[in-house]
Structure 1
Amino acid sequence: MAKPTDTRTRILAVARELFVRQGVRETSLREIADSLGITKPALYYHFASREDLVRNIVEPLMEGMERFVAQREPPDGAESEPHDPRELLGDFFDLAWEQREVLLMVVRELPALAPLELAERMFTWRRRLIRLLLGPDPTVAARIGASVALGGMSDCVVEYADLPLEDVKGPAVEAAAAALGLPRP
């Protein structure tokens, strides 16, 4: 007999796959249960609702993004050491790539995921990431360039998710660096 955590992990994997392929609204809990060979009540044993299941799929992405920024920010009141922008962009790309299926689901299903308040959380960590890239007092033009850079890299992760990482990362990071006005290496 499988451990509850094994069943829970399998439910999350199958639900993520179906949500990415078919959409959150188009995938029923019955379909998820049937794909796993379990009953719908067994699914409810592990997840109280569809929203709970979706939240458990999306939350690792959000927590990972928030942790990524927090680990690079200086402690309260401390001066920030400048980050190498290309390294920071490359690390951000790697994180987004690792979570590309969930990111694709979020982009496609943002209206259905509104109760999770993802958009505000994403904009908050993105503003913090922009401060890491540009410092505390960037111009409006620099902030716009950074928004284009980070948004463009996220779009590349979603748009080219079926290509090999090595074909996407370099051009995406260099395009982001160009949007930031960084000189070519």
Structure 2
Amino acid sequence: MPRQRTGDTRARIQQAALDLFAERGVRQTSLRDIAERLGVTKPALYYHFASREDLLNSLVEPMVKDFEAYAAELRAAAPIQPKELLGSYFDLGYRHRTVIRLAIRDLSVLQELNLADRFIEWRGALGELLVGSNPSLSDVVRCMVALGGLSDCAVMIDHEPVSELRAAAVEAAYDSLGRP
């Protein structure tokens, strides 16, 4: 039998960790739990990840990089059409829905990795692109409803085809902005 590549093992560890974190929570899941799930020794996990925090960071890092790059790209491309921005934001949230769900279900993840501040910063950058730098209170509220609702749809709705979900969510978010 061919030996598994290190990247495959690392991905298997990450998937087992995601599954256990979702089931039990991050703080209630130890590296021993993950090793047992995979049928490997704890030292085998330490070969790939120095700690549970290191493993958690490896799960969140791709999302953080994508959100940072997304916000930078949008700023550089401004102005951008609202529906285009909302559609791409849906796509980004949908792509990282597993990790976002983990953070929502286990708020310690938001705290441990300082994600709450980052999400607020990213959402603020998107809001400014949608409603400008000096919006009325009504525009701020509409923008928050649009972005928050859109994000919730991308992350929480599982039972609909993604293309239909995306179209409905983007349309509803756009309507929330109150634009003609």
Tell whether the structures are fold-level matches, with TM greater than 0.5: yes
RMSD: 1.7
Equivalent pair of 1:62/1:122 in contact (CA under 8 Å): no
1:40-72 Cα shifts (integer Å, max 9, x gaps): 111122111111111111121122111111011
Q: Residues of 2 paired with 1:144 and 1:111: CA distance?
A: 27
Percent of counterpart pairs with the same letter?
Answer: 46
Gaps of 5+ in 1: 75-79
Deviation at 1:162, TM superposition (A): 4.0
Partner in structure 2 of residue 144 of structure 1: 141
Q: How many residues matched? A: 178
Residue type matched to 2:169 in 1? A
Alignment of 1:73-112 (within 5 A): 73-74=75-76, 81-112=78-109
Deviation at 1:112, TM superposition (A): 4.2
Residue type matched to 1:156 in 2? C
1:90-146 Cα shifts (integer Å, max 9, x gaps): 111011111111111111112344121000011011111111222332223212211
Gaps of 5+ in 2: none
Confirm or deny that 1:126 pairs with 2:128. Answer: no
Greater per-residue helix proportion: 2
Change (3 A) 1:125 1:81: closer
Deviation at 1:179, TM superposition (A): 1.4
Partner in structure 2 of residue 157 of structure 1: 154
1:152-173 Cα shifts (integer Å, max 9, x gaps): 1111123213432123212211
- TM norm structure 1: 0.87
Q: Residues of 1 paired with 2:133 and 2:109: CA distance?
A: 35
Residue type matched to 1:14 in 2? A
Equivalent pair of 1:93/1:153 in contact (CA under 8 Å): yes
Q: Residues of 1 paired with 2:112 and 2:78: CA distance?
A: 37
Partner in structure 2 of residue 167 of structure 1: 164
Spell out structure 1 runs of 4+ moving beyond 3 A.
Answer: none
Q: Residues of 2 paired with 1:42 and 1:143: CA distance?
A: 50
Q: Give 2:43's match in structure 1, choosing from 33, 41, 44.
A: 41
Equivalent pair of 2:143/2:177 in contact (CA under 8 Å): yes
